[in-house]
Amino acid sequence: MAIGGALALVACQGEQPKGQVVATVNGAEITVAELNEEARARGLDIDTDRAMRDALVKELVERKLLVGEAQAQKIDRTPQFLLAERRGREILLAQQLLTAPTQGTAITPGQLQTFIATHPLSFGGRVTVAVDQLAVSKAMPARLRAQLTAAESTDRMADLLKGAGLTATRTQESWDSADPATPVGSGEVKPAAETRFLLDRPGGTILGTIIAVQPAPVSADQQPAIASALMQRSLAEQRMRTLLDRAATSARIAYNPDFAPGAGGPEGTASTPDHRMK
C-alpha cells in the first residue's frame, strides 16, 4: 500500500492527525519525535529528503500494523518475547546511564595533545604485529611454565606442551597496538620481533612468539578525532566503574552455589583462552 493510501485509511478511521502526530494506526500514534528518533538511529537526514521521510513514515505505519497483529496473536505474552523485551530494556537503560553524562564532554586541545603524546603506540608509533600463538585450556605446573618461558621458539613450546600431555591450539594472530584489547595494546607484550610471551587468560593460557612487526602510523590529521573518541570511551568506562562500585556497596546479591563466580562449569568442559583483556 502506498504511503498516501495508508495515511488516508488511517484518517478515515477517526480524526485526522495533526500537530506533532504524524499518523495513527488503529489508535496508536506515530509522533514527530518518534519519526525523528527513528531517522537518527538509522543515520538518515529526512529534513531535506522528502522521499526518504515518506518512506520512513511508511515503514513506521507498517511496523504498527505488524505490532498490532503480533499482539492479536498474543506473541507479546510468550516467555521468549518477555525475556527478549526485558533484556532489550535493561541494555538500553544501562547504555543511557553510561553515555548521557559523558556525551559531548569538552576535551581541550592540550588534553588531546597530552593523550596522543603519552600513547604513541595508538598514534604515530602504531604497529600491527603478526603472532605465532598457542592456546592451552588446562592448568600448567610451575616447572613447565618455567621451561616454556625459557623456550627459544614457538615450535619448542609446542614440543614441551606435547611432552607434558597437554593439547594446544596453534593459530596465526594479528594484533594492533592501537587496540587495548590486544596484549601489545595493553602493554603486556613488547611489540618487537622474536619477543616471546606467556599470558594467563580466562579459560587457560596463551603463549607464543611475535614473528613480524609492521609500522602502521595514524596520520596527524586523524589523530585528534581518534584521541577524542578514545578519551570519551575512557570517561564512560571510568563512570561505569564508579557507578558499579557505588551500587555494589548497597546491593544485596545472592548466587545459586552452582552459578557463583569461581564455581566453574560442568566437569569436562573447557573454553579456548582469549587474548583480549577481561
Q: Which amino acid is at 231?
A: M
What is the per-residue pLDDT for 102? 61
Distance CA 245, CA 239 (A): 10
- Provide the CB-side half-sphere exposure for 174 (13 A, CA): 5
Number of separate helices (H) and strands (E) present in the chain: 8, 6
Distance CA 151, CA 207 (A): 11
Element (H, E) at 246: helix 223-250
pLDDT, one tens digit per residue, over 52-92 is 999 999 999 999 999 999 999 999 999 999 999 999 999 99
Across residues 10-14, what is the average pLDDT? 48
Mean pLDDT of the chain: 88
pLDDT, one tens digit per residue, over 171-218 is 999 999 999 999 999 999 999 999 999 999 988 999 999 999 999 999
Distance CA 149, CA 134 (A): 13
